[in-house]
A and B are shown apart, each in its own frame.
Chain A
Amino acid sequence: MDNPVMLAAGILGTTGASLRRAALSGAGGVVTKSVGVAPRDGHRGPTVVQVEGGLLNAMGLPNPSYRNFQEEIDIGREGGSPVVASIFGSGPDEFVEVAEGLDADGFELNLSCPHAERYGAEIGCEACNVEAITRAVKGSVSVPVWVKLTPNVADIVGLGLAAQRGGADGVVAINTLKAMAIDVESGRPILGNRFGGLSGPAIKPVAVRCVYDLACALDIPVIGVGGVATWQDAAEIIMAGAAGVQVGTALGRAEGYGIFRSIAEGLSNYLDRKEMALEELVGLARRFS
C-alpha cells in the first residue's frame, strides 16, 4: 500500500465508481460496502441521524449480493489501490460462499455490524464464532483476511485473539458503538431500525483504547478505525498500535474525498518533521506502559 490511510467499510463502497474515486483521491486501500449472499434493500429511513459528536446509522447491510458485485470490485481496482471486499453472512458457510464468489485483493469479515439481525455483531460477539468463521474463510481463499471486530463486548481482546487463532492476517477495530436517538417531538426512535451504531469523533477515544489493547495482545497487525478525520487522529490511533487507519464518517465533511490526501500528507509531513518512519510510530504509546 502506498499510504496507510484507507476507505472504511460501509462508506461509499456500494459501487466501483466510488471505490475508484476514493483510490484516485489518495486512499491507500479501499474496503467495499459489506456484501452478502442475497440482495438486500437495507432498513427503512431514516438510516442516519446526526447526533452530538458523531453520526448514528442503521443502514441494514444494503447490497446487491456477491453475484452482482465482481464488476464493482474490478472498476474499483482501476483506481490503483488494493480493493478489500467486506463480506457478511449468517455463519461459516455463507461467508465462504461469498468469499469464494469474489476475486478481491483481500477480505474483511464483517463480524461487527450492530444493527442487522442474524449478521454482524450478533454472531461476532462470540469468540467461538469469530474463530470458526475466520478459519473457514482462511481455508477457502489465498488473499489476506482481516476480521472487523465489535467494541460492544466486555473484552474485545478475546475476539481479537479468536480471530488470530482462526488464522486472520489482521484485525480491524472498531465498528460502531450501539446507540439510539429519540425524537423528542413524538417520542419515536428516529432511525427506521430504532437502534443503530455511533461513529465519528465521539468514538475515537474508544477506538484508541481498543486498538491499544488489541495491539498489546496480538501478534497480527491491527487496523485502526473510528472517528479518524485528521492526520492527528490518524497519528494517535497509529501510536496506539494500528498499522493502518480507515476513514469513514469523516467523508461526510465538506472536503469529501479530499480527506484521504489531507490525512496522508499531514501524516507524511509529521513523520518528516520527527525524522521517523511510519513503522516507528506504530504502537509508540506502549513505550510508556
Chain B
Amino acid sequence: MRPKSAEIVEIVRETASVRTLRFDLDFDPVPGQYLMVWIRGVDEVPMSISYRNGISVQLVGEATRAIFDLEVGDSLGLRGPLGNGFVLTGDKILLGGGGVGAAPLALLGEAAREKGMEISTLLGFRCCDDLLFRERFERIGDLVITTDDGSEGICGRASAGLSCLNPQEFDQIYLCGPEPMMADVIGRCRGMETKIQASIDRYFKCGMGICGSCAIDPSGIRVCVEGPVIRADRLAATEFGRYRRGPSGLKK
C-alpha cells in the first residue's frame, strides 16, 4: 500500500521526551504491530502503536525531532499496521517493559482486560519524570514500577522488580523495552522461553521483508515481517542482547 495520509487530531505531551499523536484514522491494530511513519521531506521510520488511532514517540533523532515539531491539523503518511503483534493467551499474564516500550504494552493490556485476563505489569524508567501510561496500567491490574534513580517505586532496573514477582506463576510474559532489559528478564526466566513474547527493535528500511536490514543473526529472521514480536525461544543463541546492525549493515 502507498502511505495513507492521516491528520493529527490530538497531541499529548506524556513526558519531556515522549509525545502521543492521535490521528483521524482507526488502525484496527493487533497490539504489538507497528506503522511505517513518513514525515514528508524527512524520513520514514517504524513506530509502535499505543492506541487504536495513536502512536507514542520518543525523541531520539532527526525524524522524531520532526514529529515533535508537528501540530494538530498537520498530517503524516502512514503504512500499516504491519508485522506480527502479540498473541494473547492464558489467564494470568505479565507485561514487562521499559521506557517508551510501555506504549504497545498498554494497548495489549487493555485488550487482555477486555478478555477478562488477570494482568500484572512491571515497568522500568530512568526516573519518576519518565513514567509513561501509569494510569492505563493501574486501571487494568497490579503495577510494579522501578526507576534507575529510585525516585519512584523500586530503585534499580526493571529486572530488580522481577524479584517481587514470581514469573513462574504467569501463563505468558510480554516484553517491550530496551534490549538489555528484555534479555535480562528472559535470562531470569529460564525454562519459560516458549511463554515469553518480546517485541524487538531493529533498523527497518522496507517494512515488507525484502531489504534484509532487520534480519537477525544467525537465523535470518526478518523482524519487520516475522516480528516485531518474537517468542523468546527463537531468540536464544542469536545476536539478541549482544549487537544489532545500522543502516549500512555494519554491526554496532
List residues of A whose CB falls within 8 A of some B CB: 11-18, 20-21, 33, 39-42, 44-51, 55, 57, 59, 62-65, 68, 75, 181, 183, 185-186, 188, 190, 192, 248-249, 251-252, 256
Contact A183 B205 (CB under 8 A): no
Residues of B close to A256: CB separation below 8 A:
209, 222, 225-226
Chain B residues with a Cβ closer than 8 Å to the other chain, count: 38
User: What are 11 contact pairs spanning A and B, CB under 8 A?
Assistant: A12-B212, A12-B215, A12-B220, A13-B212, A14-B215, A44-B42, A44-B44, A45-B36, A45-B43, A45-B205, A68-B250
Candidates A15, A45, A249, A252; contact of B38 at CB < 8 Å? A45
Smallest Cβ distance from A267 to chain B, in angstroms? 22
Which residue from A21, A64, A188 sits with its C-beta under 8 Å from B41? A188
Chain A residues, CB < 8 A from B75: 185-186
Is B2 in contact with chain A by the CB < 8 A criterion?
yes
CA distance A183 to B217 in the complex (A): 36
From known contacts A18-B220, A75-B218, A183-B5, infer whether A251 and B209 are also in contact, taking CB-CB under 8 Å.
yes
Q: A192's closest neighbor in chain B, by CB? A: B43
- CB A173 to nearest CB in B, in angstroms, measures 20
- Asked whether, in the complex, the Cβ of A45 is within 8 Å of the Cβ of B248, the reply is no
A14 touches B225 (CB 8 A): no
Q: Which of A45, A188, A252 contacts B209 (CB 8 A)?
A: A252
CB <8 Å contact, A59 and B211: yes
| Least Cβ–Cβ distance between A113 and chain B, in angstroms | 14
B180 proximal to A (CB < 8 A): no
Q: Is B77 an interface residue (CB 8 A)?
A: yes
A208 CA to B226 CA in the complex, in Å? 32
Cα distance A248–B211 in the bound complex, in angstroms = 10
| Contact among B42, B210, B222, B226 with A248 in the assembled complex (CB-CB below 8 Å) | B210
The answer to whether A46 touches B44, judged by C-beta atoms less than 8 angstroms apart, is yes
List B contacts of A190 (CB < 8 A).
2-3, 38, 77
Residues from chain A with a CB closer than 8 A to the CB of B209 are: 251-252, 256
Assess whether A17 is in contact with B216, with CB atoms less than 8 Å apart: yes
Chain B hits for A252, CB < 8 A: 206, 208-210
- Chain B nearest CB from A195 CB (Å) reads 15
CA distance A37 to B219 in the complex (A): 27
Nearest A residue to B37, CB-CB: A45
Q: Is B147 an interface residue (CB 8 A)?
A: no
Do A15 and B77 touch (CB < 8 A)?
A: no
Nearest 7 A/B pairs, CB to CB: A45-B44, A21-B220, A12-B212, A41-B247, A17-B220, A185-B5, A46-B44
Contact of B248 with A62 in the complex, beta carbons under 8 Å = yes
Which chain B residue shows the least CB distance to A182? B2
Taking CB atoms, residues of chain A closer than 8 Å to B222 are 12, 18, 256
Besides the known contacts A42-B205, A50-B1, A64-B250, 16 further A-B residue pairs in the complex with CB atoms under 8 A apart: A11-B210, A11-B212, A12-B210, A12-B215, A12-B222, A14-B245, A16-B217, A44-B44, A47-B206, A51-B2, A59-B211, A62-B247, A64-B248, A64-B249, A68-B249, A192-B43
CA of A41 to CA of B211 in the docked complex: distance in angstroms?
13
Chain A residues, CB < 8 A from B211:
11-12, 14, 47-48, 59
Residue B65 interfacial (CB < 8 Å): no
Q: Which residues of B contact A11 (CB under 8 A)?
A: 210-212
CB contact under 8 A between A46 and B245, given known A12-B211, A12-B212, A256-B225 = no
A62 neighbours in B (Cβ, 8 Å):
205, 213, 247-249
Docked Cα-Cα span, A16 to B41, in Å, equals 33
Give A17 to B217 CA distance when docked, in angstroms.
Answer: 6
Q: Is the CB of B3 within 8 A of A46?
A: yes
